Chain A
Amino acid sequence: MNGSTITPAVTAPPGGGGAMPRSQRAHASVPQFTNSPTMIVMVGLPARGKTYISKKLTRYLNWIGVPTKVFNVGQYRREAVQTYKNFEFFRPDNEEAMKIRKACALSALKDVSIYFTEDHGQVAVFDATNTTCERREVILSFAKENGYKVFFVESICDDPEIIAENIKQVKLSSPDYVNCDKEEAVADFLKRIECYKVTYVPLDDDRDRNLSYIKIFNVGSRYLVNRVQDHIQSRIVYYLMNIHVTPRTIYLCRHGESELNLLGRIGGDSGLSPRGNRFAAGLGKYIRSQCIPDLKIWTSHMKRTIQTAEAVGTTYEQWKALNEIDAGVCEEMTYEEIQEHFPEEFALRDQDKYRYRYPKGESYEDLVQRLEPVIMELERQENVLVVCHQAVMRCLLAYFLDKSADELPYLKCPLHTVLKLTPVAYGCKVESVFLNVEAVNTHRDRPVNVSVDRDAEDALVTVPDHI
């Protein structure tokens, strides 16, 4: 039923569990299988994708509800040493620099500790080269002292083309090289890599046999996985094995305007309005004009998305997981009717739209769990068009654009607008394409007054117009 009035006892944590209380918030739909906090420790020469992996993994973990943060030692170094001169800083015989670099690492570790103990973090990604046994020993001791689990992610790559591409994409624009010309920057960076190579000791199958780690070879053509300890490490491995770096585009849009949209009613399973049909035709045209090779099209099981996809003319796959959020007892009501029949529920939803679950329905938080297999498969795929629904699209968008749980339910996903997402550098480029067919606005902003005692006028002030 609903989670907002019945609060089952959040039960006592099992024995142990380090510094953190086990997080089973009353409304979460899936147990958070994390007891001890976990440190993910990146390992690898520069330009092997460690920061790319760190950021992407962090974005994924946060999206599924595991509080995660990246600690990039390079940033600490840039703080400590305001201007970067050249690769000489990284020479293994540069004693002064070595001292600074070690201090930066320790400072980052201290912040990891604070993140776990004071900020309720669950996973910390320690993003640095960590290429020597000695450095890894320091980290392991630190973790052991504090009761943190450690999982190493090592990226190994010898393909000079991949390295060159990485340098081009993310190093040239780094603050370190802000005043250099391209060729100089590349030359310097390559020498920087050589400095690390001298002392690089990869994780060893024998010596490190008791550690938990994954080695990624050549951007994912091969993996070596050792001693996965728990659920979160297993999920991390699965995620890492599904992501790729092949250029591709993801198109997100909603179904065309539906009959119920016109009436200002939520949910249901109605068909497209005449304008919705025009949008569907326009979508078909747009997609064909994009000349996308091998485009996969995904819809939900609801009539309005399928009708929309039909107009594109190619085969599509239906996912029940892409169905709109279930509004439970409020299905097919207008916001005015919800205010009339369930004023308290309506206010509670405005108080915490992410976690609020409709009576006999779902919350955004439930949606995220439901959509996780879709995200996983989107990561595996290349060019995909996803025709879905407002709340669903907000969830997917929040994943790609790294939006927080607070922002997610208020992301703007208007009808008849296609969002074109292209991975670039460490993030995602978004282009919004309005297909020039008018539609109602279905976006309801958070009103100022969210108190359960508010009057109807205050509650309905942000409801968009409808018939």
Chain B
Amino acid sequence: MTRELTQNKIQKIWIPSKDDKPAMPRKAGGGPHLANPPTVIVMVGLPARGKTYISRKLTRYLNWVGMPTKVFNVGEYRREAVKHYSSYDFFKSDNKEAVQIREQCALAALRDVKIYLTELGGQVAVFDATNTTRDRRDMILDFGAENGFKIFFIESICEDPNVIATNIMEVKVSCPDYQDCNKTDAMEDFQKRIECYRVNYQPLDPDDYDRNLSFIKVIDVGRRFLVNRIQDHIQSRIVYYLMNIHVQPRSIYLCRHGESQHNLQGRLGGDSGLSTRGRKFAGALAKFVEEQNLKDLKVWTSQLRRSIQTAEALDVPYEQWKALNEIDAGVCEEMTYEEVRERYPEEFSLRDQDKYYYRYPTGESYQDLVQRVEPVIMELERQENVLVICHQAVMRCLLAYFLDKSADEMPYLKCPLHTVLKLTPVAYGCKVESISLNVEAVNTHRDRPEEIKRVPGTLIRRNSVTPLTSHEPTKKPRIDALDDPSIPELTPAPLTFCASTNSSLTLTTQTHCVPLPESHVGAAVSENLKRCASESHDIPQLCQ
């Protein structure tokens, strides 16, 4: 009567035999499937209130914890449809032509949301637009009801002029819309743009009109929150995340312990102490930390000896997290890679086939690590300046979170010994500086072997930002049914943001990958609204 169980070879998960496809990872193995109907998160708020910032950060977090999520930014669709932005007049509510275009853009984005959630395996879609009127929100609610999607609103409310001005300077002034303007003109135009929206802005009303909706109002950059009718687990996690993030400037330093005895022998795991060079690194790290001259640096280590010994050299208080311990290699603990290949040849090969999902026998996978390390990420979000002294696999997980790397890339991120990565939040992303402390160490990095082909059907989590130029197989015209000639179909263009065309993060000592917008649109800004029957397929880069 009871079905036979077999253990699937990559994730070591027990499943009924008839379901087993050898070596095929199950989509969501590590944690239970706690989100069933797809969810559309709908941003609400005037321009420059942090909606895109929140959209992207939240999406990065959800993807990292294993929930396929994507941002749909209506402004991007508008920039596609209207190649040249002239001035705030476009946003006046009596500009009938523009109003129509803007509505078409929203509809096009919703169509893509639907495709993402029903055909492309998406679980959460973040609809990033102002959505400041009841009409617009009602339209979205109808869309949700028709398709069986849950709707959760995130409204950002802020009236502090300093915060608004800072936002505009950080992300608006350098946006494609203003690439031919000087900063003062851009600021002025943008402020007028905000006023266009303010006229018709109807905030969510928890007491009456919107009392049955599920939403969170984020007030004054997180000073206050109003949370209404959380429906399920994912909404609860989203609320918790939003309540823990902040925008205070700060830096996060990630590094590994100093070179250990096992490192010297090429052994995995274990709990050995530092080698001589490792101790030297610890001393260099102490000097480095002092030179950074930070107020209030928190130092975190794992509970393994090599990480603690490294922290001890700093002679400052530190906190130990078991959650930061290195990935458990199970039966392979303390073996060299050669020994693993000899004694467990099949396991060795399976790991190379799918390093993210592969779980060592009686050990862990990167996927397990992500779950384990999530509370550390949550606390990192709450904190300010932190130095995390951890281990190779753990550091890859943390780095993948900050740099929005996919599950596929994560196990191959380069995290060499004796190198500190300094992460500083900037605009919508994260600046990375790689600082080698000039103490020699062995190389412990194993690249993805060339001869391993991608196993068909392996789940690859996409990056979370929706560039219009993503390599999706079916492209549709984004805007249709307008009187003017339709916008031609897009052809995929190379992704150029963040230098991530390689699968591994190549660290340099230069400032890395600040997502700076570039634009190929060379035409002069014109006074009139120009619809582009576009000749060129040079798509303006993301306004990041």
Q: Which residues of A contact B (CB under 8 A)?
A: 1, 3, 6, 8-9, 11-14, 24, 28-31, 33, 221-228, 230-231, 234, 237-238, 241-242, 269, 271, 277, 280-281, 298, 301-303, 306-307, 310-311, 317-321, 331, 360, 366, 369, 377, 380
Q: Which residues on the A side are within 8 Å of B13 (C-beta)?
A: 301, 318
Q: Which residues on the B side are within 8 Å of A221 (C-beta)?
A: 228-229
User: In the bound complex, what is the Cα–Cα distance between A412 and B135 (angstroms)?
Assistant: 59
Q: What's the least CB distance linking B370 to chain A, in Å?
A: 11
Q: Which residues on the A side are within 8 Å of B382 (C-beta)?
A: 230-231, 234
Q: Which residues on the A side are within 8 Å of B33 (C-beta)?
A: 317
Using known A-B contacts A234-B244, A242-B236, A318-B13, determine if residue A222 contacts B317 with beta carbons closer than 8 Å.
no
Using known A-B contacts A221-B228, A306-B14, determine if residue A14 contacts B317 with beta carbons closer than 8 Å.
yes
Of A28, A281, A307, the contact of B5 (CB 8 Å cutoff): A307
Instruction: Tell me whether A3 and B34 are in contact (CB under 8 A).
Output: no
Answer yes or no: B341 CB below 8 A from chain A CBs: no
Instruction: Tell me whether A310 and B371 are in contact (CB under 8 A).
Output: no
Closest residue of chain A to B31, judged by CB?
A319
Closest residue of chain B to A380, judged by CB?
B233
User: In the bound complex, what is the Cα–Cα distance between A277 and B29 (angstroms)?
Assistant: 25
User: In the bound complex, what is the Cα–Cα distance between A303 and B12 (angstroms)?
Assistant: 10
Instruction: Tell me whether B14 and A303 are in contact (CB under 8 A).
Output: yes
Using known A-B contacts A222-B229, A223-B225, determine if residue A319 contacts B206 with beta carbons closer than 8 Å.
no
Sort A-B residue pairs by CB-CB distance and give the 9 closest, nearest first.
A29-B322, A317-B32, A31-B319, A1-B271, A11-B317, A223-B227, A225-B225, A238-B240, A306-B14
User: In the bound complex, what is the Cα–Cα distance between A25 and B319 (angstroms)?
Assistant: 10
Given A222-B229, A234-B240, A380-B236, list of 19 further CB < 8 A pairs?
Answer: A8-B303, A29-B322, A30-B323, A222-B206, A223-B228, A224-B227, A226-B223, A226-B224, A241-B236, A241-B239, A301-B12, A301-B14, A303-B14, A307-B5, A310-B3, A317-B33, A320-B30, A320-B368, A360-B271
User: In the bound complex, what is the Cα–Cα distance between A221 and B33 (angstroms)?
Assistant: 24
Instruction: Tell me whether A280 and B2 are in contact (CB under 8 A).
Output: yes
Q: Which residues on the B side are within 8 Å of A11 (C-beta)?
A: 316-318
User: In the bound complex, what is the Cα–Cα distance between A52 and B333 (angstroms)?
Assistant: 47
Bits for B284-319, please: 1 = Cβ < 8 Å to A, else 0.
Answer: 000000000000000010011100100010001111
Instruction: Tell me whether B379 and A307 are in contact (CB under 8 A).
Output: no
Q: Which residues on the B side are within 8 Å of A1 (C-beta)?
A: 271, 304-305
Bits for B261-295, please: 1 = Cβ < 8 Å to A, else 0.
Answer: 00000000001000000000000000000000000
Q: What's the least CB distance linking A435 to chain B, in Å?
A: 16
Of B1, B16, B32, B232, the contact of A281 (CB 8 Å cutoff): B1
Q: What's the least CB distance linking A298 to chain B, in Å?
A: 7
Instruction: Tell me whether B1 and A306 are in contact (CB under 8 A).
Output: no
Using known A-B contacts A14-B317, A224-B225, A307-B5, determine if residue A366 contacts B322 with beta carbons closer than 8 Å.
yes
Of B2, B32, B239, B368, the contact of A310 (CB 8 Å cutoff): B2
Bits for B214-243, please: 1 = Cβ < 8 Å to A, else 0.
Answer: 000000000111111110110010011001
Instruction: Tell me whether B321 and A31 are in contact (CB under 8 A).
Output: yes
Answer yes or no: B436 CB below 8 A from chain A CBs: no
Using known A-B contacts A222-B206, A280-B2, A310-B5, determine if residue A33 contacts B243 with beta carbons closer than 8 Å.
no
Instruction: Tell me whether B322 and A30 are in contact (CB under 8 A).
Output: yes
The contact sample of 29 A-B pairs, CB cut-off 8 A, is: A24-B319, A24-B320, A29-B303, A29-B323, A30-B323, A31-B320, A31-B321, A33-B379, A222-B226, A222-B228, A222-B229, A224-B224, A225-B224, A226-B223, A226-B224, A226-B225, A227-B223, A241-B240, A281-B1, A301-B13, A310-B2, A311-B1, A317-B32, A319-B31, A320-B30, A320-B371, A360-B271, A377-B34, A380-B232
Answer yes or no: B375 CB below 8 A from chain A CBs: yes
User: In the bound complex, what is the Cα–Cα distance between A31 and B225 (angstroms)?
Assistant: 27
Q: Which residues on the A side are within 8 Å of B333 (C-beta)?
A: 360
Q: Which residues on the A side are within 8 Å of B230 (C-beta)?
A: 241
Q: What's the least CB distance linking B315 to chain A, in Å?
A: 10
Q: Which residues on the B side are within 8 Å of A302 (C-beta)?
A: 14
Residue among A28, A30, A226 with the highest chain B CB neighbour number at 10 A? A30
User: In the bound complex, what is the Cα–Cα distance between A318 and B2 (angstroms)?
Assistant: 17
Q: Which residues on the B side are within 8 Å of A31 (C-beta)?
A: 300, 319-321
Q: What's the least CB distance linking A330 to chain B, in Å?
A: 13
User: In the bound complex, what is the Cα–Cα distance between A303 and B239 (angstroms)?
Assistant: 35
Of A13, A231, A234, A306, the contact of B317 (CB 8 Å cutoff): A13
Instruction: Tell me whether B16 and A8 are in contact (CB under 8 A).
Output: no
User: In the bound complex, what is the Cα–Cα distance between A429 and B33 (angstroms)?
Assistant: 29
User: In the bound complex, what is the Cα–Cα distance between A168 and B297 (angstroms)?
Assistant: 53
Q: What's the least CB distance linking B229 to chain A, in Å?
A: 6
Instruction: Tell me whether A369 and B322 are in contact (CB under 8 A).
Output: yes
User: In the bound complex, what is the Cα–Cα distance between A223 and B333 (angstroms)?
Assistant: 47
Q: Which residues on the A side are within 8 Å of B371 (C-beta)?
A: 320-321
Closest residue of chain B to A221, judged by CB?
B229
User: In the bound complex, what is the Cα–Cα distance between A31 and B2 (angstroms)?
Assistant: 44
Bits for B335-372, please: 1 = Cβ < 8 Å to A, else 0.
Answer: 00000000000000000000000000010000010010
Q: Which residues on the A side are within 8 Å of B322 (C-beta)?
A: 29-30, 366, 369
Bits for B150-163, please: 1 = Cβ < 8 Å to A, else 0.
Answer: 00000000000000
User: In the bound complex, what is the Cα–Cα distance between A31 and B305 (angstroms)?
Assistant: 17
Q: Which residues on the B side are within 8 Å of A224 (C-beta)?
A: 224-227
Of B12, B206, B243, B300, the contact of A234 (CB 8 Å cutoff): B243
User: In the bound complex, what is the Cα–Cα distance between A307 and B303 (angstroms)?
Assistant: 35
User: In the bound complex, what is the Cα–Cα distance between A29 and B338 (angstroms)?
Assistant: 33
User: In the bound complex, what is the Cα–Cα distance between A30 and B321 (angstroms)?
Assistant: 5
User: In the bound complex, what is the Cα–Cα distance between A29 and B322 (angstroms)?
Assistant: 5
Instruction: Tell me whether A377 and B14 are in contact (CB under 8 A).
Output: no
Instruction: Tell me whether A30 and B236 are in contact (CB under 8 A).
Output: no
User: In the bound complex, what is the Cα–Cα distance between A242 and B236 (angstroms)?
Assistant: 7
Q: Which residues on the B side are within 8 Å of A369 (C-beta)?
A: 322-323
User: In the bound complex, what is the Cα–Cα distance between A238 and B250 (angstroms)?
Assistant: 25
Of B14, B227, B232, the contact of A222 (CB 8 Å cutoff): B227
User: In the bound complex, what is the Cα–Cα distance between A140 and B321 (angstroms)?
Assistant: 34
Closest residue of chain A to B3, judged by CB?
A310
User: In the bound complex, what is the Cα–Cα distance between A360 and B304 (angstroms)?
Assistant: 10
Q: Which residues on the A side are within 8 Å of B271 (C-beta)?
A: 1, 360
Q: What's the least CB distance linking A304 to chain B, in Å?
A: 9
Q: What's the least CB distance linking B385 to chain A, in Å?
A: 13
User: In the bound complex, what is the Cα–Cα distance between A33 and B236 (angstroms)?
Assistant: 22
User: In the bound complex, what is the Cα–Cα distance between A224 and B299 (angstroms)?
Assistant: 33
Q: Which residues on the B side are within 8 Å of A242 (C-beta)?
A: 236
Instruction: Tell me whether B16 and A310 are in contact (CB under 8 A).
Output: yes
Q: Which residues on the B side are within 8 Å of A28 (C-beta)?
A: 320
Bits for B501-541, please: 1 = Cβ < 8 Å to A, else 0.
Answer: 00000000000000000000000000000000000000000
Q: Which residues on the B side are within 8 Å of A310 (C-beta)?
A: 2-3, 5, 16
Closest residue of chain B to A239, judged by CB?
B240
Q: What's the least CB distance linking A351 to chain B, in Å?
A: 20
User: In the bound complex, what is the Cα–Cα distance between A292 and B244 (angstroms)?
Assistant: 37
Q: Which residues on the A side are within 8 Å of B312 (C-beta)?
A: 9
Instruction: Tell me whether A307 and B32 are in contact (CB under 8 A).
Output: no
User: In the bound complex, what is the Cα–Cα distance between A14 and B298 (angstroms)?
Assistant: 10
Instruction: Tell me whether A307 and B2 are in contact (CB under 8 A).
Output: yes
Q: Which residues on the B side are within 8 Å of A225 (C-beta)?
A: 224-227, 243
Using known A-B contacts A237-B243, A310-B3, A311-B1, determine if residue A223 contacts B226 with beta carbons closer than 8 Å.
yes
Instruction: Tell me whether A8 and B304 are in contact (CB under 8 A).
Output: no
Residue among B31, B206, B303, B312 with the highest chain A CB neighbour number at 10 A? B303
Q: Which residues on the A side are within 8 Å of B228 (C-beta)?
A: 221-223
The residues in B between 189 and 231 inclusive whose CB is less than 8 angstroms from any CB of A are 206, 223-230
Instruction: Tell me whether B5 and A303 are in contact (CB under 8 A).
Output: yes
Q: Which residues on the A side are within 8 Å of B206 (C-beta)?
A: 222
The residues in B between 389 and 417 inclusive whose CB is less than 8 angstroms from any CB of A are none
User: In the bound complex, what is the Cα–Cα distance between A360 and B240 (angstroms)?
Assistant: 33
User: In the bound complex, what is the Cα–Cα distance between A226 and B229 (angstroms)?
Assistant: 18
Of A24, A227, A320, the contact of B224 (CB 8 Å cutoff): A227
Instruction: Tell me whether B303 and A3 are in contact (CB under 8 A).
Output: yes
User: In the bound complex, what is the Cα–Cα distance between A253 and B333 (angstroms)?
Assistant: 32
Instruction: Tell me whether B320 and A298 are in contact (CB under 8 A).
Output: no
Q: Which residues on the B side are within 8 Å of A319 (C-beta)?
A: 31-32
